[in-house]
Amino acid sequence: MNRKYRKTLIAGNWKMNKTPSETKAFMTELKAMLPKGRWCDIALCVPSVCIPAAVRALRDTRVGVGAENVNANASGAYTGEVSTSMLVDAGCKYVIIGHSERRAMGETDADVNAKTLAALEAGLVPIVCCGESLEQRESGITEEWISMQIKLALANIGEDKIRKVVIAYEPIWAIGTGKTATPEQAEEVCQHIRGVVRKLFGSKNARAMTIVYGGSMNDKNAFELLAQPDIDGGLIGGASLVAEKFVKIIEDANQPTA
Ligand code: PEP
């Protein structure tokens, strides 16, 4: 983390877990446990139907609510989809874009770019995911792959908006598998991502961009990962479903840094 130049963000990704009633119960538990420090931003990205319950429960807190996906179109015949304006009106602040689980369902780099542009236009903070498969890592093309994903995801974003984007480095082999990238592996790629952003948007924007790590981050390994200079937080799946674990990660992110 480097709090001098950028925000730290701890964001949960609930995926397809918890009902609206369970959301209300979880948020009540979470609120009672939240640390008082104000150093890091906190978000919970929840299933669409849980957004109203989450927004209601978190109204008087500094925890932002996010969605797990969005459609880039403004409105129309897109059965089952949700637009950026719907998310904003429902009280969302964040939206996850390009998660590997959605890419596996057919989301392309062009979709990720269109969704990112639409989210920024609507005033949402896009948490744009990138990451390599185990096969890609083992064949030595991780950096090349990530560079391509970042360039395509951030195409046509104006200099005025780029600092609102959060990038999440999520190696696919570490998501939901219990296999965390080592702090060194995660730092190496997050540093590389910052380098790509520097080439595209200049050093000031690269220095100001929040880049988080995701992939089996939990209450046991967060501290070491967050101690890396280019890891500005976490996107947390499984551990964000358990209030004590999520709060412990927030506390780790609130530790003073050198
Ligand atoms: C995720 O879904 O973005 C994620 C990182 O999941 P997990 O923490 O469970 O690996």
Beta-carbon count within 10 A of 49 CB: 11
67 alpha carbon to ligand 1 midpoint, in Å?
Answer: 15
Residue 224 appears among annotated catalytic residues: no
Beta-carbon count within 10 A of 93 CB: 18
How do the pLDDT tens digits run along the chain, 258 residues long?
A: 888 899 999 999 999 999 999 999 999 999 999 988 777 999 999 999 999 999 999 999 999 999 999 999 999 999 999 999 999 999 999 999 999 999 999 999 999 999 999 999 999 999 999 999 999 999 999 999 999 999 999 999 999 999 999 999 999 999 988 888 899 999 999 999 999 999 999 999 999 999 999 999 999 999 999 999 999 999 999 999 999 999 999 999 988 765
> What pLDDT is stored for residue 258 in this prediction?
52
Q: Which two tokens stand for residue 80?
A: 């089952």
∠ CA(23), CA(24), CA(25), 5° rounding? 90
Residue 170 appears among annotated catalytic residues: yes
Contact predicate 234/217, CB 8 Å: yes
Q: Which of 10, 14, 15 to mutate to test the pocket of ligand 1 (most atoms within 8 A of CB)?
A: 15
Contact predicate 65/91, CB 8 Å: yes
16 alpha carbon to ligand 1 midpoint, in Å?
Answer: 12
> What pLDDT is stored for residue 231 in this prediction?
97
Q: Whose CA is nearest to atom 8 of ligand 1?
A: 237
Q: Which of 96, 180, 218, 236 to mutate to test the pocket of ligand 1 (most atoms within 8 A of CB)?
A: 236
| DSSP-assigned letter for residue 46 | -
Tally the residues of the chain: 258
How many Å apart are CA 7 and CA 127, to the nearest integer? 13
CA nearest 149: which of 172, 131, 135, 165?
A: 131
Burial annotation 51-83 (CB, 10 A radius, 16+ → b, else e): bbbbbebbeeeebbbbbbbbbbeeeeeeeeebb
Q: Which two tokens stand for residue 5?
A: 């130049």
By DSSP bridging, strand 166-169 and strand 63-67 are unpaired
How many Å apart are CA 96 and CA 67, to the nearest integer? 6
Contact predicate 120/156, CB 8 Å: no
- CA dihedral of 199, 202, 205, 210, whole degrees rounded to 10: 20
